[in-house]
Chains A and B, each alone.
Chain A
Amino acid sequence: MSPSELPAGDEPSSDFLNDYFAECDEHLMGVRRLLLRLEQSIGRGDINTSVLDELFRHFHSLKGISGMVELRPAEELSHRAEDYLRALRRHDVRLSPEGVNALFDATQLFEQVVNARRSGGVIPAIDAAVATIAGLVSARPADLAAPVPGAPAGAPLTPHWRFLFAPSRELVGRGIRVDLIRTRLTALGEIIHAAPHVTDSGMIAFEFIVATGADAETIAALQQDGVTAERLPDASVVSDPAAAVDPEWPAVGEPSPVAGSVAPSHVVRVDLTRLDDLMRNVGDLVISRARLGETLARIESHVPAGEWRAVQENALVIDRQLRTLREAIMRVRLVPIGEIFRRMPFVVRDLARETGKRVRLQLQGQSTEIDKFLIERMMDPVLHLVRNAVSHGIETADERVAAGKRPEATITLSASTAGEIVTLEVADDGRGIDVEAVRSRAAGAGLDPATAGDAAGLLELLCAPGFSTRDESDRASGRGVGMAVVKSTVEELGGVLRMETAAGAGTRFIVELPVTLAITDALIAKVGAETFAAPQAAVREVIAVPLSAIRALEQNEITPYRGGVLPLVRLSRLFGLADAARDTLHVLVVGTGGSALGLAVDRVVGQREIVVRAATDPLVKVAGISGATDLGDGRVVLIIDPAALARQMRGRPAGVVDGIAGGGGR
């Protein structure tokens, strides 16, 4: 049978052969790249199916074209490789180092065969390689049934756009075809979906859904090439945890990499670093402004009164603008919560494998933005909730089936904003909280089991310190982060933790946090047995004053300070607290110039960022206290208002301390 258009027998025309060789080269490049990735998956029970799929397609194509040019050895090798890859995909065999080596060898041999054909040399024998692979295919049966779905669909952080391309002869005339558009879109981001689309008028168009961080301009530029674009709202992106392992992703347990690692959204990375610098700069500005204030105070006496007023006004304006600047940067610190969610698929996958359960993770609202400070603090608590859900909330596949549920459990992690509140939820469709177990555990731990009467009470018990033993929390979370810490962290951030649970149906933890926080740097000081916070910005400096340096002046105490005199107020006396006997007072110098004042505390224990919370009830509205904060242990720490104290001291007769003497005791 001799083809009329093609050369007879085994000699396809050189024209076809050149194409064949070129195509082989292309495919082989892809194969080599993919085999390297496959090699990294060795030993793990589940492999990235898209790698297998691509490899399969490459060998399939190589088989097809090798057959067409009648290069039988090449066709046979590809066919065998195809068989093995098919078996891997179907889990008939497990990937092993021998298997990968066999594929590498087959690929190399294929190349040699093709090159031999190209150069007219002797085509090497392939029997050994064929036998090796054939042996692998019929190897031991599957001993692992890990769920292996496709790779995660698109970077969860980036926005999704829908592009519609309508082809036309005019566009073709300009060289614009659908494949070109597709290439362009691939350069913009990741194409999640590509399909033909018939419009209402019966015209044929093409729809692409792309995950891209490209800016609106770049996207708009596509319009002149027949492409219309539409930004999609964040629908739920079903990311499967058992999928995974793209070896480029960070391993579980690693801290969030800063720069230099594969990040879904590079823009956010860069901004965070710059934002930190910005914050530092503003912080420096605040300090400089304070120093300027001191300098100004020193020269006050040399400046005519009229001029001085102007200087004061300028200073106040700068103060105000600095505050605005600081707040504006705070708002810019909003970061997509996907940062926290990113790690979850790996955590779930690992834990599910360890516990032998089948779990799928659903992520929603990854682009919801929250303050960067919140991201850092909430990472561990959310991790703990997710681990808890897998470890305790979710039943084994058998138990689930027995209960009439799907064998695969679902954990949903979602985030959304409404006004000033951002809500995070970790929900599972597992067995729900065992109220009786909680009750007996509570009783055993010395807590009141009756509290478990409602969901709020249950949550309280779960979060009570001492409720879960250290061993338990270690096993569940690996880091000793118990529910107590989850609760205290949430509350420290100005938020609320709630829980809903239904026996047999599942549990849902709800965290509500303020979107932006009033955060300020503060000095933490002890006065007697009490702890207070003082806003850093209000404190010019902290000095140590030995008792011997304190003089009495009428009813006041003063001490030498910078060539002048600093009036002192002992906070212990002002607040009616026990005066600890010390030989040195630590003094927070507040105010400037003539209104400078030293607030004496027992000692300054540290400096840190605090979240400012309002304490507005009239019952606790006292002079000198501007709010409250939580230093992480759930106790309220009051924030003193140095400026108000200074004003107060200025406005009263010497020696009289405001407020009712001897406040209430316990």
Chain B
Amino acid sequence: MRKILIVDDSTTIRKMVRASLRQLDDAEFVEAASGLAAIEQIALGPVALIVLDLNMPDMHGMDVLKFVRGHRASKDVPVMVLTTRGDDSSRDTALAAGATLYFTKPFTPPVLLAGAKDLLSGVGPQA
């Protein structure tokens, strides 16, 4: 079973991401509503894919990303970052900080799914 970690402070969005990725094989979903909770999930066990919202109140997604890339347990985990419409600078910084793919909200579910499939099968840009 591959653990897919969905990180977003909005319940609605978490649900929608989960719904979007339901088609993935062998997937087990865990959700985190805050940056700290996301890191906690990494502490608890290996994660196969992270879907990460950048704009979170307690700890900015960028800091989560940096932590993920800096810790041996998670540095190679593919990360799909969700940024908001019009936030180009964030996108660039995220990519520079090690994000594997980025999507702007509102995302289109099939596109999200396609991206996830690619990353999980080892295709596409590596971290």
**Are chains A and B touching in the complex at the 8 Å CB cutoff?**
yes
Q: Which residue of B lies closest to A15 (CB)?
A: B15
Instruction: Using known A-B contacts A3-B109, A70-B106, A178-B36, determine if residue A61 contacts B9 with beta carbons closer than 8 Å.
Output: yes
Residues of A within 8 A of B58 (CB): 182, 194
Candidates A6, A23, A63, A206; contact of B12 at CB < 8 Å: A23
Chain B residues with Cβ under 8 A from A60's Cβ? 55, 84
Contact at A206–B40, with CB atoms within 8 Å? yes
A203 on interface, CB distance cutoff 8 Å: yes
Contact bitstring A69-95, B, C-beta under 8 A = 1, else 0: 110000000000000000000000000
**Does the CB pair A196–B10 fall under 8 Å?**
no
A179 contacts B by Cβ under 8 Å: yes
B59 lies within 8 A of A65 (CB): no
- B8 closest partner in A (C-beta): A64
The reply to whether B20 and A5 form a contact with Cβ atoms under 8 Å apart is yes
User: Is residue A20 within 8 Å, beta carbon to beta carbon, of the partner chain?
Assistant: yes
In-complex Cβ contact of A182 among B13, B16, B36 (8 A): B36
B120 at the interface (CB under 8 A from A): no
Q: Is the CB of B23 within 8 A of A4?
A: yes
Contacts of B39 in A (CB 8 A): 178, 196, 204, 206
Counting CB contacts under 8 A, is A22 at the interface?
Answer: yes
* In the assembled complex, A269 has its CB within 8 A of some CB on chain B: no
Instruction: Indicate if the CB atoms of A22 and B36 lie closer than 8 Å.
Output: no
Q: For residues 47 through 84 of chain B, which have their beta carbon under 8 Å from a beta carbon of chain A?
A: 55, 57-59, 67, 71-73, 84
Within 8 Å by CB of A172, from B23, B35, B42, B44, lies: B44
Is A57 part of the contact surface with B, judged by Cβ < 8 Å? yes
In the bound complex, what is the Cα–Cα distance between A632 and B121 (angstroms)?
Answer: 84
Q: Contact at A64–B84, with CB atoms within 8 Å?
A: yes
Question: Contact at B40–A16, with CB atoms within 8 Å?
Answer: no
Question: B45 to nearest A CB, angstroms?
Answer: 8
Query: Chain B 95-127 against A: per-residue CB contact (8 Å), 1 yes, 0 no?
Result: 000000000011111100100000000000000
Chain B 21-47 residues near chain A, CB threshold 8 A: 22-23, 33-37, 39-40, 42-45
B109 touches A6 (CB 8 A): yes
**In the complex, chain B residues whose CB is within 8 Å of the CB of A276:** none
Interface string of A171-202 (1 = CB under 8 A from B): 01000011100100000000000111010001
Q: Which residues of chain B are within 8 angstroms of A3 by Cβ–Cβ distance? A: 20, 108-110
Chain B residues with CB under 8 A of A168: 44
CB–CB B37/A179 < 8 A: yes
CB distance from A388 to the nearest CB of B (A): 42
Min CB distance B49 to A, Å, is 17
Indicate whether A97 reaches chain B with its CB closer than 8 angstroms. Answer: no
Please name the residue on chain B nearest to A53 by beta carbon: B57
Nearest CB of B to A196, in Å = 5
How many residues in A have their beta carbons less than 8 Å from beta carbons of B? 39
Please name all residues of chain B whose beta carbon is closer than 8 Å to the beta carbon of A204 when the two chains form the complex. Answer: 39-40, 42-43, 71, 73
CA distance A167 to B34 in the complex (A): 15
Q: Are B34 and A179 in contact (CB under 8 A)?
A: yes
- Is B11 at the interface (CB under 8 A from chain A)? yes
Residue of B nearest to A4 (CB): B110
0/1 per residue, A531-546, Cβ < 8 Å to B?
A: 0000000000000000
CB proximity of B61 to chain A, nearest CB, Å: 12
- Shortest Cβ gap from A204 to chain B (Å): 4
Choose among B40, B73, B107 the residue that contacts A177 (Cβ–Cβ < 8 A): B40
Asked if B15 and A19 make an inter-chain contact with CB atoms under 8 angstroms apart, the answer reads yes
Q: Does A582 have its Cβ within 8 Å of any Cβ on chain B?
A: no
**Residue in B12, B22, B33 whose beta carbon sits within 8 Å of that of A179 in the complex:** B33
Which residues 507-553 in A have Cβ within 8 Å of B in the complex? none
Indicate whether A1 reaches chain B with its CB closer than 8 angstroms.
Answer: yes
Closest approach, in angstroms, between the C-beta of A621 and any C-beta of chain B? 68
Q: Which residues of B contact A194 (CB under 8 A)?
A: 36, 58-59
Q: Does A329 contact B (CB under 8 A)?
A: no
**Minimal beta-carbon separation of A216 from chain B (angstroms):** 25
Q: Inside 8 A of A23's CB, which chain B residues have their CB? A: 10-12
What distance in Å separates the Cβ of A507 from its nearest Cβ neighbour in chain B? 42
- Whether B13 lies near A68 (C-beta < 8 A) is yes
When the two chains form their complex, are residues A198 and B71 in contact, meaning their CB atoms are under 8 A apart? Answer: yes
Cβ of A67 within 8 Å of any chain B Cβ, yes or no, is yes
> Across the interface, which residues of A come within 8 angstroms of B20, CB to CB?
3, 5-6
Q: Inside 8 A of B12's CB, which chain A residues have their CB?
A: 16, 19-20, 23, 65, 68-69
For B1-21 the 0/1 string (1 means CB < 8 A from A) is: 000000001111101100110
Chain B residue contacts of A12, Cβ below 8 A: 16
Binding site for B on A (CB under 8 A): 1, 3-6, 12, 15-16, 19-20, 22-23, 57, 60-61, 63-65, 67-70, 167-169, 172, 177-179, 182, 194-196, 198, 202-206
Give 5 nearest A-B pairs by CB, closest first.
A204-B43, A3-B109, A67-B106, A19-B12, A178-B40
B residues touching A (Cβ–Cβ < 8 Å)?
9-13, 15-16, 19-20, 22-23, 33-37, 39-40, 42-45, 55, 57-59, 67, 71-73, 84-85, 105-110, 113
Q: Could you list 13 further interchain pairs (A-B, Cβ under 8 angstroms) beyond the known A16-B16, A177-B37?
A: A3-B110, A4-B113, A19-B11, A61-B9, A64-B84, A64-B105, A65-B12, A69-B12, A70-B106, A178-B39, A179-B36, A194-B59, A195-B59
29 contacts between A and B (CB under 8 A): A3-B20, A3-B108, A3-B109, A4-B110, A5-B22, A16-B12, A19-B11, A19-B12, A57-B57, A60-B84, A61-B9, A61-B10, A64-B13, A65-B10, A67-B85, A67-B106, A68-B12, A167-B43, A169-B45, A177-B40, A178-B36, A178-B39, A179-B36, A182-B34, A194-B58, A196-B35, A196-B67, A203-B43, A204-B39
